[in-house]
Amino acid sequence: LSMAWGVATTCGAYAAAGFSMAVLEALVLTATATVGLTIYTLRSKQDFSYLGAGLGAGLWVLILGGLMAMFLPGMQLAMAIGGAAIFSLYIVYDVHMIATRLSPDEYISAAISLYLDIVNLFVNLLRIIAELSGGRDQ
């Protein structure tokens, strides 16, 4: 519930700042990327479980980089791009785990993991689009 409130507040802040089209673009890109990555993962015969350790390390790098970015504002775009890449790979990893490794009893944790991946991808794409647009809605 608090995650939904946080995302709604973020979207409202971007829209109030004149980036309402950026919110819509991020939504469409997130939906497209999620569907595309899910289809790729389910149709691929690859075992994506090897991504787990690297993604965990990448997430820690992203967290530490986020702490540094508070003091170095020029890192915001790089952090958003890195976050979008990491959470895209997390979607692939989690879809693979849901399809092949997790038991039906673990559906709650699987749904939460996938939800968090999608929300974090959306927020990072929103940051990228707003940063690259350089201004308000055109």
- Is the pTM higher than 0.75? The answer reads yes
- pLDDT by residue for the chain (138 residues), tens only, comes to 688 899 999 899 988 898 889 999 999 999 999 999 999 999 998 999 999 999 999 999 999 999 998 888 788 899 999 999 999 999 999 999 999 988 989 999 999 999 999 999 999 999 999 999 875 555
Query: Residue 12: which domain range?
Result: 2-133
Domain assignment present for residue 11? The answer is: yes
Domain assignment present for residue 101? The answer is: yes
Alpha-carbon distances of 28 from 38, 40, 45, rounded to whole Å: 15, 18, 27
Domain assignment present for residue 138? The answer is: no
